[in-house]
Amino acid sequence: MSSFLSVRDLRVHFPTQDGIVKATDGLSFDLERGQTLGIVGESGSGKSVSTSTILGLHRKTRAMVSGEILLEDEDLLKISDEEMRRKRGRDVAMIFQDPLSAMHPYYSVGNQIVEAYRVHNDVSKKAARTRAIEMLDRVGIPQPDRRVDDYPHQFSGGMRQRAMIAMGLVNNPSLLIADEPTTALDVTVQAQILDLLQDLQKEFNSAIMIITHDLGVVAEMADDVLVMYAGKAVEYGPCREILTHPEMPYTWGLLSSVPEVTGDVDAKLVPIPGSPPSLLSPPKGCAFNPRCAHRDKVPGDRCRTELPELVPGSRGPHHLKRCHLADPDQIYATEILPEIAPDLAALEQNAQTQTPAEQGTDTGVEDK
Ligand SMILES: Nc1ncnc2c1ncn2[C@@H]1O[C@H](COP(=O)(O)OP(=O)(O)O)[C@@H](O)[C@H]1O
Ligand SMILES: [Mg+2]
């Protein structure tokens, strides 16, 4: 049987005056219900474009889109705008980094959840309001029957994020796309929101895609992880596998810059030198090569001239990498791991401390 969600060779290219921006350039991945896929990469790597295309949000733009987005074998790129509208919010929902931009300032939080519900359900306003209160309660808003009439600005950042999750989940979508859902929040609230998402996932058996630049979030949430660079997957496989045996120097770089997991402001941050390439004219060969400290280990200047394919690494067919290095395991073990061992220990700990028992601390009353 094919996957619940199967994305095949997705390309999202934007024609601009300066040329074509290849925001998503041949992306493929699979996701099952009850599973979480983490998509990680620096800002501008194409995470949001790729995932918002699943919701049909590219339809409003001049984007040139090709490939397949198969949701239960139905290609979302082929259905009509009307069918897409029916699916959006009902079968597939998205929550964003900034609830203020997703919520209307002039309508109460409750009204917006009611609307999100009534678009897809033929119910009375009263029944929808009851449902909205139930959802606010479910995401841990205290006194939901009163807070339901508040406006977004009357909620704290963490509560707005919860309210947006309530709005996103009001129709029990089978696929939830969370685009940097906790980036703007402090570490404690972030942990509560991630716990909440995991709870709701267990309850509804939903598939979740979580987009983040933070491998700490991935370590906690994801079953699989896809590392994106310049519109392409550069490493893809089971989360544990990739966190313990990363084979792509870009992933090594991301692993070296994860201070947030510990919440320790003094933690060492080793940002990857240089900045992500322009998607108008990415470097020849491997797009990461200008920033890669290991390219000279590959004979024949191949990193600068030849785009590596995304192929299985040394550890089996499930772990894919896009890199010419012949012995990444060896380099990782001798040059990288000794440097980042403390960060990895923090990641491990983060992944382990998120037990259900901890969720009792999620009172939802962090402030008003
Ligand atoms: N409508 C658009 N027209 C042209 N370029 C776009 C458009 N939307 C996004 N892009 C470009 O696509 C690239 C990927 O953006 P995005 O997916 O938002 O990155 P990420 O979410 O990983 O930070 C960026 O270079 C961005 O400028
Ligand atoms: Mg983004």
Residues 294-352 have pLDDT tens digits of 999 999 999 999 999 999 998 889 999 999 999 999 999 999 998 888 777 777 776 65
How far separated are the first and last CA of the chain, in Å rounded?
48
Asked whether 46 lines ligand 1 (CB < 6 A), one says yes
- Which 3 state secondary structure label does DSSP give 252? helix
Residue 343 counted as domain residue? yes
For ligand 1, whether the C-beta of 279 sits within 6 Å is: yes
Mean pLDDT value across residues 74-88: 95
Q: Is residue 130 part of a domain?
A: no
Alpha helices (runs of H) in the chain, residue ranges in sequence order: 47-54, 81-87, 99-102, 109-118, 125-138, 144-147, 157-169, 187-204, 215-221, 239-244, 249-255, 302-305, 328-331, 337-353
Ranges of H-type helices in 205-327 = 215-221, 239-244, 249-255, 302-305
Query: Can you say whether the dihedral through the CA atoms of 11, 14, 19, 24 is positive or negative?
Result: negative
Alpha-carbon torsion 194, 200, 201, 203, what sign?
A: positive
Residue 218 lies in a domain: no
pTM score: 0.90
Question: Is residue 281 a part of any domain in this protein?
Answer: yes
Lowest mean pLDDT among 74-88, 94-108, 124-138, 218-232: 94-108
Residue 94 belongs to a domain: no
* Average pLDDT across the chain, whole number: 89
Is the residue at 261 inside a domain? yes
- In this structure, which residue's CA is closest to atom 27 in ligand 1? 44
Specify the ligand 1 atom closest to the Cα of 50.
17
> What separation in Å is there between the alpha carbon of 227 and the centre of ligand 2?
14
The two structure tokens encoding residue 240: 């544990």
How many structural domains are present in the chain?
1
State which ligand 1 atom lies nearest to the alpha carbon of 45.
22
Q: Residue with the nearest Cα to atom 26 of ligand 1?
A: 44
Residue 368 lies in a domain: no
- Structure confidence by residue, pLDDT tens digits, 214-238: 888 899 999 999 999 999 999 999 9
Q: Is residue 188 part of a domain?
A: no
42 closest CA partner among 190, 258, 188, 293? 258
Out of 21, 183, 275, give the residue to mutate to test ligand 1, the one with the largest number of ligand atoms within 8 Å of its CB.
Answer: 21
* Residue 85: pLDDT band with limits 50, 70, 90: very high
Which atom of ligand 1 has the smallest separation from the CA of 52? 17
Segments forming the whole domain that contains residue 279: 241-354
Quote the pLDDT of residue 171: 93
Of 257, 249, 232, which Cα lies nearest the Cα of 295? 249
User: What pLDDT sits at residue 213?
Assistant: 84
pLDDT band at 271 (very low <50, low <70, confident <90, very high): confident
Task: Report yes or no: 25 and 50 within 8 Å, Cβ to Cβ.
Answer: no
